[in-house]
Amino acid sequence: MPPATDPMTLLRAVNDSAAFNRWCGFEVQRALPGEVELAMPWRAELGQYSGFLHAGVVGALIDTACGFAAASQVGSRLLASHFAINCLRPAIGERFVAKARVLRVGRQQVFTRCELYAHEQGREKLVATGETLLCVMGTAATA
């Protein structure tokens, strides 16, 4: 029974081992091979000067969800090379959910895509989108 083949077990372990993820309050709420949902409750410390979710945290959620979607399919020997975020609306909500999925697994690279939703008073709203390109590390390689 290799635990590494269960994406939820793998990703919760990775998530727990990352100090920043714990501080942010990231929770792996769904994990299938190539498809991950990462949630985070709102807290005031996550805000920028207007009280919206900080764009940096928007990016961190999306980048992390994308990395987890990739890891759920090819394992955790991955490094993010590039990520890009579109901020469609001010990120205001009680809870945020990043839904990421793998677009393509190549020999050396994994392409992923993500939507970030804000939940507020029972409504779900798309607030940001993003994409990540990850590099599959060789035996001793880095990007």
Query: With binding defined as CB under 8 A, does residue 90 bind its own copies?
Result: yes
Query: With binding defined as CB under 8 A, does residue 1 bind its own copies?
Result: no
Measured distance CA(68)–CA(22) in Å, rounded:
15
Pure H helices in 18-136 = 19-24, 55-74
- In order of 25, 52, 53, 54, 142, the CA distances from 49 in angstroms are 20, 8, 9, 8, 36
List the one residue from 18, 32, 75, 124 that touches its own copies (CB under 8 A): 18
Binding site for its own copies (CB under 8 A): 14, 17-21, 23-24, 44-49, 54-57, 59-61, 63-64, 67, 76, 79-90, 103-104, 106-109, 111, 113, 126, 129, 131, 133, 135, 138, 141-143
